[in-house]
């Protein structure tokens, strides 16, 4: 059993970020938003921001430095940072040249970073672009479906190439985006691991991999594409990975043709748990195997670049590069995660700095103005208390489900958000203004509910507040609530391709609202949501991390997100009945 000195992941994440600022005088930290940034960034240059869940160190905070990232935003372990965190980072480092967000292709990151970018553009007038990295080849076209390929260690090469280009050429945001897309289109990664990782403070995943190896492992504990048992020799494993990376006849995985490539970059990445001795041996065998395929690498990078906590595995990244990309990769940088780590003299300045308040955007400004639409605040508070308590009580079950079909954080994330909402339930309830109340609720979710769930709930309740403001009624009734909820669902579905039948929370939310629109009772709607959730057992996943798990697991449990929606709706039904 793997043990940890930490049993509180939030403390672990903050302490890890603090150590970076402690040891490097050119780095600043805002603990409240878990943001690391470069103290002396030139605002005449495009600011580069990346981020995502913690647990991938040195990514992403370790790549903040001269010639790499301007700032990095950290979520909880394996969970995307919130929109509020990202927006704070954007406003802190943005200048007239704008901001480029570099993200990995995971649903939570896509939702949160794109929503933050939109808010920064529309409400604050900041030029912001988003570049998505999707270098994984192990999960091919058929399996990845609507989700697309995952972003893996190749993302670090994007950080380095664009960061150095921005510093050395002062390229504008369009040039950087063009170069970034060129890198991504020529980038492939495959990973392998001997074991799933245990997140500090949580029970180990109920998966035994004795004498096995999993090909195609992600960086969030997702199962791979192939479980090999008994474990083949290392040389065979490496050749299987290179087949996935290089075989042009594999229609499912042939993303980049390296035939005749003049410049190839090889990155061998330690997923966190291999000793330097073993990892060094693996690097040598990878390079030898590539040369046997008539590819002589121009540049070989070997080290711990993007981890899955202490995962006992490694990944291989190949980049079909231009000479320009090679030069940017070889250029110096003081980013902690790129070169060998060193300890600097401690300095007198404080390690942590207080966040600069961000400007209030137009939506929040409107929310301050009273809508004059009243509602029953006491019933609302009963709904909040019952629904949130349901989520807290059901957290172990949702976590168990998500451990099997995801990365195990759904229950913890929803429970964390529920506790935050309970803390503010009395403060946000204004009986004379339903719009302000719902807007404040959305703000709590945007700040305290991270991961994919946070993005979806934030979008839905933000849309709900907007729809309520547009209503002609002066006092909320059942019909007004149903109409606003239905339009909010439409707004949410403009932001995500998820629909009922994709094995997501939509399988509970969509039938609930549709049943109410049909004029049926609240009890009928809750029953429809529960039936929709139960129907996800055995359903093929089209979106989310469940796409990457073996199909046999789909039969065992319903979708965790749908279970969370049912908890909320059952609380609604119990509070109103």
Catalytic residue positions?
220
Does the bond joining 58 to the residue before it have cis omega, within 30 degrees of 0? yes
**In three state form, how does the secondary structure of 21-51 look?**
HHHCCCEEEECCCCEEEECCCCCCCCEEEEE
The response to whether 109 counts as a known ligand-binding position is yes
Q: How far is CA 403 from CA 81, 199, 399, 409, in A?
A: 20, 11, 6, 8
DSSP tally for the chain: helices H, then strands E: 19, 12
Pairing of strands 99-104, 128-133: parallel
Helices (DSSP H) in 471-521: which residue ranges? 478-495, 506-517
Instruction: Please report the sign of the dihedral spanned by the C-alpha atoms of residue 222, residue 226, residue 232, residue 235.
Output: negative
The answer for residues whose C-beta is within 8 angstroms of residue 29's C-beta and 6 or more apart is 17, 18, 20, 21, 35, 36, 351, 352, 353
In a 3-state reduction of DSSP, which class is residue 264? Answer: strand
Radius of gyration of the chain (CA): 24
Tokens at residue 256, please? 């980049």
Residue 53 assigned to a binding site: yes
State the residue for tokens 């204004």.
430
Q: Is 180 annotated as a binding residue?
A: no
Beta bridge partners of 493: none
What's the CA gap between 414 and 15, in Å, rounded?
Answer: 23
Q: Is 159 annotated as a binding residue?
A: no
Q: How many C-beta atoms lie closer than 10 Å to residue 197's C-beta?
A: 27
Q: How far is CA 117 from the centre of its chain?
A: 15
Measure the CA–CA gap between 166 and 359, rounded to whole angstroms.
Answer: 27
54 is in an annotated binding site: yes
Query: What is the C-alpha separation between 98 and 93, in angstroms, rounded?
Result: 9
Q: Is 345 within any annotated ligand binding site?
A: no
Report residue 329 CA to chain centroid gap. 26
For the annotated binding site, the residues are 53-56, 104, 109
For the annotated binding site for substrate, the residues are 53-56, 104, 109
């Amino acid at each position: 059993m793997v043990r940890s000195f930490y049993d509180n992941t939030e403390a672990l994440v903050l302490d890890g970020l603090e150590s970076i600022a402690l040891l490097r005088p050119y780095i600043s930290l805002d603990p409240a938003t878990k943001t690391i940034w470069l103290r002396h960034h030139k605002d005449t240059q495009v600011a580069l921001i990346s981020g995502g869940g913690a647990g991938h160190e040195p990514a992403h905070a370790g790549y903040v430095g001269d010639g790499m990232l301007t700032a990095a935003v950290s979520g909880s372990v394996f969970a995307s940072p919130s929109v509020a965190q990202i927006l704070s980072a954007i406003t802190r480092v943005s200048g007239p040249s704008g901001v480029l967000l570099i993200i990995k292709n995971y649903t939570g990151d896509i939702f949160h970073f794109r929503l933050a970018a939109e808010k920064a553009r529309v409400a604050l007038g900041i030029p912001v672009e988003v570049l998505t990295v999707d270098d994984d080849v192990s999960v091919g076209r058929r399996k990845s479906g609507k989700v697309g390929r995952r972003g893996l260690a190749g993302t670090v090469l994007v950080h380095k190439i664009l960061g150095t280009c921005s510093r050395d050429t002062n390229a504008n945001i369009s040039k950087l985006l063009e170069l970034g897309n060129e890198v991504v289109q020529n980038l492939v990664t495959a990973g392998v691991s001997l074991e799933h990782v245990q997140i500090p403070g949580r029970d180990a995943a109920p998966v035994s991999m004795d004498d096995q190896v999993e090909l195609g492992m992600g960086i969030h504990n997702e199962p791979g594409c192939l479980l090999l048992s008994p474990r083949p020799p290392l040389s065979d494993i490496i050749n299987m990975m290179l087949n996935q990376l290089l075989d042009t006849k594999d229609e499912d995985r042939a993303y980049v043709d390296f035939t005749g490539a003049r410049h190839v970059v090889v990155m061998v990445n330690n997923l966190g748990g291999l000793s330097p001795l073993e990892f060094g041996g693996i690097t040598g065998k990878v390079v030898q195997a590539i040369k046997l395929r008539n590819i002589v690498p121009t540049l070989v990078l070997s080290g711990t670049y993007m981890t899955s906590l202490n995962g006992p595995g490694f990944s291989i990244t190949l980049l079909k590069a231009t000479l320009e990309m090679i030069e940017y990769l070889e250029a110096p940088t003081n980013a902690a995660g790129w070169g060998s780590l060193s300890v600097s003299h401690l300095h007198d300045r404080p390690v942590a700095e207080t966040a600069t308040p961000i400007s209030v955007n137009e939506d929040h400004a409107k929310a301050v103005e009273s809508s004059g639409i009243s509602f029953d605040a006491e019933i609302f508070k009963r709904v909040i208390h019952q629904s949130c308590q349901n989520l807290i009580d059901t957290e172990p079950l949702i976590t168990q489900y998500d451990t099997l079909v995801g990365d195990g954080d759904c229950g913890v994330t929803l429970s964390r958000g529920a506790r935050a909402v309970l803390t503010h339930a009395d403060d946000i309830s204004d009986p004379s203004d339903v719009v302000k109340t719902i807007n404040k609720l959305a703000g709590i979710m945007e700040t305290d509910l991270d991961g994919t769930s946070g993005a979806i709930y934030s979008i839905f309740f933000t849309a709900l507040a907007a729809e309520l403001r547009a209503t002609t009624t002066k006092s909320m009734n059942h019909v007004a609530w149903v109409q606003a909820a239905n339009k909010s669902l439409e707004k949410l579905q403009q932001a995500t391709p998820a629909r009922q039948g994709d094995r997501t929370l939509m399988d509970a939310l969509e039938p609930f609202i549709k049943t109410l629109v049909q004029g049926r009772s609240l009890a009928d709607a809750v029953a429809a949501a529960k039936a929709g959730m139960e129907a996800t057992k055995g359903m093929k996943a089209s979106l989310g991390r469940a796409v990457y798990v073996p199909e046999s697991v789909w039969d065992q449990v319903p979708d965790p997100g749908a279970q969370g929606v049912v908890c909320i709706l059952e609380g609604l039904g119990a509070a109103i009945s």
